[in-house]
Amino acid sequence: MFSQVLSATTLGIDAFIVKVEAHLENAVPGFITVGLPDGAVRESKERVSAAIKNSGFTFPLKRITINLAPADMRKEGSAFDLPIAVGILAAHGQVDAARLGDYVILGELSLDGSIRPVTGSLSMAIQAHSERVRGMMVPVQNAPEAAMSEGVTVYGIQSLGQAVQFLNGEVVLDPVRVDMDEAFNRTHHYFVDFQDVKGQIYAKRALEVAASGGHNILLIGPPGSGKTMLAKRIPTILPNLTLDEALETTKIHSVAGLLPGNQALITTRPFRSPHHTISDAGLIGGGHVPRPGEVSLAHHGVLFLDELSEFKKNVLEVMRQPLEDGLVTISRAEMSLTYPANFMLACAMNPCPCGHYGDPNHQCTCSPVLIQRYMARISGPLLDRIDIHIDCPAIKYKELAGEPGGETSEDVRSRVMKAREVQLTRFGDPTFRHRRIYCNADMESREIRHFCRLDGRSAELIKLAVEKLGLSARAYDRILKVSRTIADLAGSSNIKADHVSEAIQYRSLDRKYD
């Protein structure tokens, strides 16, 4: 007695189809699962056995062999419970096997036969569509998420009994449908606004430039100057997520098991703010089977590192490669996985251990050697990868006591989006379609030479800055990129001296501590 059920599992943020084969024979009763199952899959036999009995079906007293094909790929998670149970019942003749090839089946079983949600259902739905599978049977909680993949008919299942009745044609279920526009409008909102921030006019301008070009930014100032408050509002001035970006972001959070239960699609840009005690594996990703870390969870959004100098140095150094490449590859003995990690880095730190260096209202108690040692916690190569360093001075009483004013996030975002549209048009040139470039921060040497040409006055200005500050070649490129963004915000097709001058001003650490 044999049956075959289609299921799926994730590999990184993508998925692949798994054929769950069930074989029953008249021998000493037993239950064995083969095909590189992990611990959760091996334990499924206990859940499957109890669920079948408690759902009113007959559990066959035979030798049961479950094979998960392809056998050379590791299978993990509890999503195979439901397909294994259905496969056993089909092999025993309690389920009509004629419709098993039409559906990818997923779900974790409770002992009473009810079905619990699983992770990665969006990735599995996209893979099912690419392999021309007719539909999917998923836990009812995962159905809206899976339905985000067009071309696959998704049915939400609440229990093993309901799944069997559906496959036997005893009940008719309505497919789950999701209105993309409604999903975007319902969840696309922020609870903070740029207008909430008092003062810090120059820091706000720097954040607008950073958002317009996708540049990394470092905020430096004494405690209580509003650095964290400013950083939390960066997503509110970034362009809205496109559908493709929303789907890719949702896949990452779904695989990591971090997708909110009432949300089928992530429509706002992620904002991740890990504590400074995080490990390098927590930041980059890792584990026995590599899982996405904070840099991947911040994909298409903002990764905020508060108290930057308090992070372990080895933790900060592992970010250098993702910052350059926009992806991270995690290699382990069993496998190597690549996760996307195209994020905007925002950092905040005090100017010295006591926090009052350069503050006219408070006396700094730190010696020059102590300040130098404090700043040395952040390596030069990492600072080079941060395009903008901006000072956030202590807020004056007049600003603090006044009513919140200034521009709203919507006002700033409108200018940011205009600048981004200019960049998308520029990088849509067929000459530069060899790779995807979304903003000025993504430019490499070839694009910088082509789009960041300087006139005589601008070239002289940046030459003076490089010679006086001892800037590296990477810092020189960063200044050119930021200058290009400032010119885009000003509506100028050419980079002018005042654009270069402003970009140089955003290298405050090079000026202060060189």
User: Which CATH number fits the domain that encloses residue 501?
Assistant: 3.40.50.300
Q: By the 8 A CB rule, do 360 and 231 touch? A: no
Among 166, 133, 138, which Cα is nearest to 152's? 133
Same domain flag for 370 and 495: yes
Q: What is the pLDDT of residue 405?
A: 67
Dist. CA 466–CA 325, nearest whole Å = 26
Q: How far is CA 329 from CA 258, 279, 281, 297, 480, in A?
A: 21, 17, 12, 14, 29
Same domain flag for 36 and 120: yes
Among 426, 472, 419, which Cα is nearest to 450's? 426
Q: What is the pLDDT of residue 514?
A: 43
Same domain flag for 296 and 335: yes
In a domain, 179, yes or no: no
Q: What is the pLDDT of residue 384?
A: 82
Dist. CA 498–CA 452, nearest whole Å = 14
Same domain flag for 143 and 267: no
In a domain, 292, yes or no: yes
Domain that holds residue 284: 194-513
In a domain, 104, yes or no: yes
Same domain flag for 146 and 9: yes
Q: By the 8 A CB rule, do 24 and 60 touch? A: yes
Dist. CA 330–CA 347, nearest whole Å = 24
Domain total for the chain?
Answer: 2
Compute mean pLDDT per 10 residues along the chain, 514 residues long, and list them.
95 94 95 92 94 96 96 91 97 94 96 96 95 95 92 95 96 90 72 87 94 95 91 93 90 91 85 95 87 94 94 92 90 85 95 86 89 88 89 80 78 95 85 72 88 91 85 85 96 93 85 47
Q: What is the pLDDT of residue 308?
A: 94
Q: What is the pLDDT of residue 188?
A: 67
In a domain, 180, yes or no: no
Q: Which of the listed residues 167, 186, 204 is the one where a domain comes to its end?
A: 167
